[in-house]
Amino acid sequence: MEFYFAPLEGITGYIFRNAWEEYFGGADKYITPFISPNAKGCFTAKEKRDILPEHNQGKKVVPQILTSKAEFFIDTAKKLKEYGYKEVNLNLGCPSGTVVTKKKGAGFLSYPKELERFLEEVFEKLYQKEQIEISIKTRLGMEQEEEFYQILEIYNKYQLKELIIHPRVQKDFYKEPVRSGFFKEIWKNSRAPVCYNGDIFTPELYQAFTREFPEIEKIMVGRGILVNPGLLKQMKTGKPMEKEELWQFLSRLRQDYEKEFSGETPVLYKMKELWFYLAHSFTDYTPYLKKIKKAGRLAEYQGIVERLFMEQNLREW
Ligand SMILES: Cc1cc2nc3c(=O)[nH]c(=O)nc-3n(C[C@H](O)[C@H](O)[C@H](O)COP(=O)(O)O)c2cc1C
C-alpha cells in the first residue's frame, strides 16, 4: 500500500510536513494545500514558501492548484516546473461555499462541458508540450453521486497520472458518511490509477478498508493523521504513538512556527487549529480543549498542554 498525506489548507504547510516527517513520517507522497492562482500570475508569499524546494527536501511533494481557468492552471504549473515539480494536482473537491460559487473545486463538477474544455487545453499545453504530469483530486459531484458517471467519462479521455477519489458530493461536506457503496461500483471504471481518500481514522478502519478493497494500492489520509500523528506508523508497524514523541513533535512544530511568524498570535492560532483534531487522541480531553481554545497567550496555552500531558493518557486506537 502507498500512503499519501492529504492536503489540509491552513494546517499541512511545509512547516507541519517537515516536523511530522521527522517525528512520525511514513507518507509516500504529500499533496500541498491548494495554490489559488489569480490574474496577477504570481504566488503569494505563503504559497511560495510552501513550494520552495529547500522547504521540501527528501519528500515527494505534489503542489495542488485550485482554479477553473485553464490559462491560470497552465501558467502556475509552468512556474512550478521551474522549481523542479514534474507533477501538479487539480483540486476538484473543495466544498467550501466561497470556492464553489466561483465554479472552482467541487463547484467545477457542475459544468462538465467547461471542465472538458479545461482539461483539453491543460493536457495539450502541459502534458504534451511540457511533459508535466497531471493528477486530479475529486469529489463525486455537487448534489448526487450519479453525476460521477459523466465526470469519470471525461477524466477517462485524458492521460491522468492518477485519480484521487473522495467519495462524497459537495453537499455532504465532511459530515455525511462516505459513499463506499458507490465507490465500490465505480472505481474500477477509472482509466487512471485510483487513490482512495476519506475517513480512514484508525488502524481498524484501515484494516476494514483493505479487506473490502484488496485491490486498491493507494490511500490518502488527512484528518486521521491530525488526530493521531502516529497513525501511518501504527498502520504499518502496529506500534502506537508514544507521548514522548508527540511532545517532541509539538515542541518542534511550535518552534518552527515561532521562527516563521512574528509575534505569538499567529503561532497560537496555528497550534489551536491542530488541537481541534489532536485533542481527540487523549482521554477525557474536553475541559483541556476548552481552555486551549480560550488561551490568549502562548505561555497560557503551554501550561494547559503540559497539564493535559501529565494528567491524561493517550487513547488506544
Ligand atoms: C481543514 C481542511 C482543509 C482542507 N484543505 C484541502 C486542500 O487544500 N485541498 C484539498 O484537495 N483538500 C483539502 N481538504 C480535504 C482533505 O484533503 C481530505 O480530502 C478530507 O479531509 C477527507 O480525507 P480524511 O477523511 O482522511 O480527512 C481539507 C479538509 C479539511 C478538513
Question: Which residues lie with the beta carbon below 6 Å from any ligand 1 atom?
Answer: 6-10, 33-34, 64, 91, 93-94, 137, 166, 174, 197-200, 221-224
pTM comes to 0.98
Burial state string for 180-193 with b = 16 or more CB within 10 A and e = fewer than 16:
eebbeebbeeeebe
Q: Shortest CA distance to 204 belongs to which of 234, 242, 176, 164?
A: 234
User: For the chain, how big is the Rg over CA atoms in Å?
Assistant: 20
Burial class (CB in 10 A: 0-12, 13-18, 19+), 10: exposed
Run means of pLDDT, 10 residues per run, the chain, 317 residues:
98 98 97 94 95 98 98 98 98 98 98 98 98 98 98 98 98 97 98 98 98 98 98 96 98 98 97 98 98 98 98 96
Ligand 1 centroid – CA 221 distance (Å): 9
Ligand 1 centroid – CA 310 distance (Å): 31
What integer pLDDT is reported at residue 239 of this predicted model?
96
What integer pLDDT is reported at residue 39 of this predicted model?
83
| Grid cell in block for residue 39 | 490574474
CA distance 14 to 58: 12
What integer pLDDT is reported at residue 41 of this predicted model?
86
Nearest CA to ligand 1 atom 22: 198
CA distance 266 to 311: 27
Cβ-contact 139, 107 below 8 angstroms: no
Q: Which residue has the cell 479487506?
A: 211
DSSP-derived pairing of the beta strands 29-31 and 61-62 = parallel
CA atoms in the 13 A half-sphere facing the CB of 52 = 11
| Grid cell in block for residue 98 | 466561497
Ligand 1 centroid – CA 175 distance (Å): 12
Nearest CA to ligand 1 atom 6: 8
Ligand 1 centroid – CA 7 distance (Å): 6
Cβ-contact 101, 68 below 8 angstroms: no
Ligand 1 centroid – CA 222 distance (Å): 6
Q: Give the 3-state secondary structure of residue 99.
A: helix
Test site for ligand 1: of 3, 9, 16, 200, most ligand atoms within 8 A of the Cβ: 9
Nearest CA to ligand 1 atom 31: 8
Burial class (CB in 10 A: 0-12, 13-18, 19+), 122: buried
What integer pLDDT is reported at residue 165 of this predicted model?
99
